[in-house]
Amino acid sequence: MKKPDVLMIGPYPDWEMPALEAAYQVHKLWLVDDRDAYINRHAEDIRAIATRGDLGASAELIEALPNLEMIGCFGVGTDAINLTAAQARGVKVSNTPDVLTGDVADLAIALCLAVTRKIPDSDVFVRDGSWNSSTMPLTSRFFGKRMGIVGLGRIGMAIAKRASGFDMEISYHNRNKRLDVPYHYCETVEALAAQCDYLVAAVAGGAASKAMIGSAALIALGPEGYFINIARGSVVDEAALLHSLQNGVIKGAGLDVFLNEPKIDTRFAKLNNVVLLPHIGSATLDTRKAMGKLVRDNLAAHFAGKPLLTPVFA
């Protein structure tokens, strides 16, 4: 029996490839010089796309594959996949939720601590010998403060659980108020920012959340407040964020995501009140292996005629 043809937009970790190549005819698009010609040549054969959250699948690509049945995404974010085009064509889409929730939530708390207690600066202070002749400036306390979470989904809930262990008062803003949580609901992002010390973005990316955290929210957060982003760079007005960090509108930020990654705005690197990470929220060996397995399990379920394990839409 002929193996199903799967178009891979970009590479997965090396350990994933043997299992994928054993089960499917894998077309490695990232190795091709003329992508359009390659797609045209193999368009009739492709039944599935295997992509990543940062690479997605455009409407043009979806339309170019007449026998496309599903898209499997290595990652929880699907904002780079044209879901409208997929739904219009009846193409199923899966992603990898839950398996990365804990790691991303851990990193959110790590960023809070790193920027508040100036952990990167303290490391440099010891390494460069400054400790021999001076002492580090005092920092702020983290535990017992107020956290506001923008987006109380799987990751937002995991962050709230961890923050509660630090005796924090937790509030949130969501598209809809949740009736199953004890946390205070705020109708707007600005109202949330006004009553917290840490504003944490955990909302899904996409058009609905684009720049939803803007100047007004950052002003409301205030000169003693910190902004933490483990969601998508698009959820904050980046120009407003840079202005706020440069001019003391907020005290600091911890950022794992940016616009135009990895070619981020160079002004971030000149700031001493921000901790910068290279989008590593789910970047542990444990989680990446679980993500890869879930992609493969969804592909296997589809080609066996079974429901997807983690469909993005019904």
Examine the residue annotation and report whether 232 is marked as an active-site residue of this protein: yes
Q: Over range 27-43, report the average pLDDT.
A: 97
pLDDT over threshold 80, residue 157:
yes
pLDDT, tens digit (0-9, with 9 covering 90-100), for 50-63: 999 999 999 999 99
Active site residue 261: yes
Contact status, residue 45 vs residue 1, Cβ threshold 8 Å:
no
For residues 192 and 172, what is the distance between their CA atoms, to the nearest angstrom?
A: 7
- Of the residues 60, 63, 224, 261, only one is catalytic, namely 261
Indicate if the pLDDT at residue 142 is higher than 80: yes
Check 232, 288, 296, 302 and give the catalytic one.
232
Q: Are 242 and 265 in contact, with CB atoms under 8 Å apart?
A: yes
Question: Cβ atoms within 10 A of the Cβ of 228, count?
Answer: 28
> CA geometry: angle at 60 spanning 56 and 61, to 5°?
55
Question: Is the pLDDT score of 314 beyond 80?
Answer: no
pLDDT at 185 (0 to 100): 98
Domains in the chain: ranges and CATH: 5-99+286-303 (3.40.50.720), 101-276 (3.40.50.720)
pLDDT at 166 over 90: yes
Share of the chain above pLDDT 90, in %: 99
What average pLDDT does the structure give for the chain? 97
Q: Which residues contact 243 (CB under 8 A, 6 or more apart)?
A: 215, 249
Task: Clarify whether 141 is annotated catalytic.
Answer: no
- What is the rounded average pLDDT of the residues 190-204? 98
Catalytic residue among 52, 279, 296, 302: 279
> For the whole model, what pTM was predicted?
0.94
Beta bridge partners of 51: 73
